[in-house]
Structure 1
């Protein structure tokens, strides 16, 4: 048996986590993880990092998992640092140009790649990137990368820690647009999921206060405020903020064909609005937003199609069809491959179930 695989298995069993549970939480199959633990497959950095992230609770186990992860990831990071430096120099490129393209690519990959696979790659790049934080532009690239990293983490509390780092990095960039965007993106990420609404509100208020210039950051901050108002049951404020957000969006909307986490094309704006009106129990504007999102969304984004289906399930529940709405949402989730799912989808499904339970009570 491979020593590293055996250590992963020992740590998992000592933590009381079954192989099936580990597979569900990491998006790897049971058979794949079983082969890794048995030494029949290599324990790649992404798998070791996933084990470290999920099993590293308690001081002793945290130290143990950190040692395992460092032993596997450090050589990868060192090699990447050397390769990236030489490759950029040979192409006559600056670190700023190289990292701009790399972070832009992560924004595009976020829309299609599973969170676990994306996070393992981004982990290595963030370790490399922190060696280059010697100009304001590099801090701006780091800020955007940290937001993306936060969105790949498994729970809102962990995401907030990364969003807070992203805000500090953005402030060091001295780039007002990046400072607004980081706060707006973090705010809508939390508010759309219905998670940590107090923090989402704080991020959004900061973004709105920094600048009244039309921007995608401001669009997302205003939309986050709308979702926060919906969470409080304040329908009038939510609708008014949606109107304000759409007014700014009309000035700065991303092109239809742009697919990136940094972009807000029409289909994505309608996805934000679809969830807003599902929460408000307003099927008229909600249905319009759902249909527009389905009509304009690129066909190769099944995860975001599932978002809309879960919104439809919530709309059904809010309209009184509790069992039908929950079943509809569950079928939509089941139809999406496990590796394509996200924390946002998990939280939305839970919201559908909780809305049904509240109506039952």
Structure 2
């Protein structure tokens, strides 16, 4: 049976890297911590087991799901079995091909049809599981890719591709990032700066909130901010994404400055729409703020943000109420009570029906466990 060290070695060799190269890439990804070639060697030989912090960054650098490296032998065996299997089961591929040709042989969907799809997915993402959204979006993207011949269709494609990327956790190899990169290229073809800013900003806050691929998140945010200084949801997301990156890296001053700028943009560009992934209403900007303040150890700001978010959060979105409760668990852990924080957060997560769990919540739980 494969150990975690053996899996790390196999994946490293698959990338064609030496132990020193892997150590260097880990240092670049983590930034605030250091790992050496000797550390990598000890992990691979089983003399030492990487903790949750390094497991998370190993998953990102080696481009695999976190479950491939976790201590549960069944999870590792399942991962290695899946690696040997085809990426898409034949029956799934058959369904997608059939769906694509059926659409090509019938009347071409209108732009209004795709805008309606976009709105529906924005709403559904807030309450449905990632796997359900991913399955449905895959079918629609097969059809849409046959029609991206005009700027306005590229706009729709870019936003749907961004949403599709969000169905993969930021530490699930490079899948999420690759989809964000393609979405950015699609947005550039839309010839609409607001779309270009939105896609980059949404990718930045997705990765920043998850605490994944920090250098990539910062790059996306910087690109969004450079395209236009006009207040918009894209700029708002970019500022908060960059703020979370700064907070995780320990740069509290920069994080707080970005938070204040983000609040000013929200005052101008905040959303009235309450239940769409394409919107940032009052409750949602306070969810962003709650986690940011918890990461900074700013209890007063965090509690105030949680109070406002809870007051305005629609009852139909219990998943985000769980986010707020787990932020309190993170606050406990950061204050020195790691055990209490983990218990509090785990209790909140367990109260949410499993089918409503998100990949982001699982990553947040991992962060709390790390303290």
Q: TM-score, normalised by structure 2?
A: 0.75
1:152 aligns with 2:167: yes
**Where do residues 120-135 of structure 1 align in structure 2 (5 Å cutoff)?**
120-135=135-150
**Where do residues 254-269 of structure 1 align in structure 2 (5 Å cutoff)?**
254-255=271-272, 257-269=273-285
- Equivalent-residue separation in structure 2 for 1:115 and 1:228 (angstroms): 24
For 1:168, the equivalent position in structure 2 comes to 185
For 1:347, the equivalent position in structure 2 comes to 363
Question: How many aligned positions are there?
Answer: 292
1:329 aligns with 2:355: no
**Where do residues 1-361 of structure 1 align in structure 2 (5 Å cutoff)?**
56-58=82-84, 61-62=85-86, 65-82=88-105, 85=107, 88=109, 95-156=110-171, 157-255=174-272, 257-355=273-371
Gaps of 5+ in 1: 1-24, 26-52, 89-94, 356-361
Aligned CA distance change for structure 1 residues 166 and 56 (closer, same or farther; 3 Å): farther
Q: Could you list the per-position Cα deviations for residues 62-118 of structure 1 after superposition, in whole angstroms to 9, with x for gaps in the alignment?
A: 27x4534222332233334545x36x5xxxxxx211111111211111001111111
Higher helix share: 1
CA RMSD of aligned residues (A): 1.8
- Equivalent-residue separation in structure 2 for 1:264 and 1:111 (angstroms): 12
1:120: Cα distance to partner?
0.6
1:340: Cα distance to partner?
0.7
Q: Secondary structure at the match of 1:326?
A: helix
Q: Secondary structure at the match of 2:83?
A: coil
For 1:45, the equivalent position in structure 2 comes to none
Tell which has more relative contact order, 1 or 2 (C-alpha 8 A, sep 6+): 2
Gaps of 5+ in 2: 1-66, 68-78
1:252: Cα distance to partner?
0.7
1:258: Cα distance to partner?
2.7
Aligned CA distance change for structure 1 residues 118 and 55 (closer, same or farther; 3 Å): farther
- Equivalent-residue separation in structure 2 for 1:55 and 1:105 (angstroms): 35
Q: TM-score, normalised by structure 1?
A: 0.78
